[in-house]
Amino acid sequence: MKSPEVPASAGLLAAVRAIATQTAARHAADVDAKARFPAETVAALRDARVLSAAVAPEHGGPGCGLRELAEFCAILAQECASSAMVLAMHYSQLACITRHGADSPWFSAWLRETVQRQDLLASMTSENGTFGDTRSSICAVQRDGDRFTLEKDATTGSYCAHADAILVTCRRDADAPASEQVLVMVRREDCTLQQTTSWDTLGMRGTCSPGFKLASSGHVRQILPGAFADSSAQSMVPYSHILWAALWWGIAAGAVARAAQFVRGQARQKPGTVPPTAQALAQLQVRLQAMKQNWVSAARDFDALAGERDELMGMGWALRLNNLKIACSEAAPQIVHGALQVVGILGYKNDSPFSLGRHYRDALSGSLMISNERIAAKNASMLLVYKDAA
Ligand SMILES: Cc1cc2nc3c(=O)[nH]c(=O)nc-3n(C[C@H](O)[C@H](O)[C@H](O)COP(=O)(O)OP(=O)(O)OC[C@H]3O[C@@H](n4cnc5c(N)ncnc54)[C@H](O)[C@@H]3O)c2cc1C
């Protein structure tokens, strides 16, 4: 798959392409079958210094923009969606630090160090009792002098057991309302994780996302400056929705690539004829192209506006990002379904080179990963007051 723009990261882009085809593709079926962490792929990303791609030059990184990071996730997802989701979630957390922590000496030093160490960051926003609403917390960070303690009962914590640090949402203090949240960086060595549920899911099995009870402590400078309301709207939501959309597109593109290979095989069997499946394949390309334009344009516009914090806090952006998330999470399984209709029984079989089972199962997670119904309800209330045309 060609990439149109490769400014700051030509070397990284080539590395991600090689990791996708040589490492992620090789281990994807085993990662899925065993619901195990894609350790080989993450190790390769670390070795190629892909994990620090978003770190700015003043902290020693290449300073890749969202468009470039999205391309990395899209490429990886064509071979292993779980690996791509790990990378996307890591970048969404890293963006909160690069964009909201750079003025803090502690986070600034951490950014410089992570370029060397290539830390992997996980996220803990979900919590038992908040029902999938990332913008409210029950748990609170407890400060005592320059130390903090924090406990959280999370419903879902992707690859937390494999991460070097976890960014945890919580109330700013024990007296704060549920929506007054901060983001705390909990280092793996400063916490215990008690697994509370299993992760035997239909898809995205390699993200290893069971529930965890977290108990942690640390220095108060590990609390990211500012309110989570700001880092969420200006960074975590734009990065996660755009990167997820890119990787869901990657899953669909991987499925369409298998269908195209199948159709070409049919064409070779009857030279000079166009197989009847070729037309359905052509229609899938139309949907794939529209889906790609949706996340590419959002990523480009975000890169152009990245410093305009007030605009990113506006309803226009919130609606656009929510629409992108809903549209792409719905389109991906539909396109995979279309690819399955093209391939037929060889796509339905698990042991065929044209198998599409993993693509299908992985793509189904998108609409649940922050429920589309929940997002649509937020859009509905914004649209009561937001009058600009989309
Ligand atoms: C692959 C994967 C990885 C994940 N990784 C992480 C992670 O690393 N860290 C983390 O914190 N979380 C993670 N999550 C959790 C995720 O982000 C959501 O918080 C969680 O999936 C929501 O769970 P839920 O569906 O039970 O909750 P809810 O959002 O409460 O949804 C429950 C039901 O209520 C419906 N519903 C909710 N609101 C409305 C409404 N307003 N109108 C109508 N119906 C509504 C939904 O459609 C759904 O049927 C992950 C999820 C997935 C799938």
Ligand 1 atom closest to the CA of 89, numbered from 1? 8
Band (389; pLDDT cuts 50, 70, 90) = low
CATH of domain 122-222: 2.40.110.10
The pLDDT score that the predictor gives to residue 373 is 97
CATH no., domain 228-383: 1.20.140.10
Q: What is the mean pLDDT of residues 338-361?
A: 98
Rounded to whole angstroms, the Cα distance separating 296 from 290 reads: 10
Cβ neighbours, 10 Å, residue 54: 24
CB atoms within 10 A of CB 248: 35
Q: What is d(CA 317, CA 284) in angstroms, rounded to the nearest whole number?
A: 28
Q: Find the mean pLDDT for residues 225-251.
A: 97
The string of pLDDT tens digits covering residues 114-143 is: 999 999 999 999 999 998 899 999 999 999
Identify the residues whose C-beta falls under 6 Å from ligand 1: 89, 123-126, 131-132, 154, 156-158, 204, 207, 209, 365, 368-371, 373-374, 377
Class at the top of the CATH hierarchy for domain 10-119:
mainly alpha
> Same CATH fold, 228-383 and 122-222?
no
User: What are the sequence ranges of the domains in the chain?
Assistant: 10-119, 122-222, 228-383
Over 60: is that where the pLDDT of 184 sits?
yes
Of ligand 1's atoms, which has the minimum distance to the CA of residue 378?
Answer: 41
Q: Measuring from atom 39 of ligand 1, which residue has the nearest CA?
A: 374
- Render pLDDT for 46-90 as a digit per residue (tens, 0 to 9): 999 999 999 999 999 999 999 999 999 999 999 999 999 999 999
Entry pTM: 0.96
- Beta-carbon neighbour count of residue 7 at 10 Å? 12
Q: Give 132 Cα–ligand 1 centroid separation in angstroms.
A: 4
Q: pLDDT grade, residue 8 (50/70/90)?
A: low
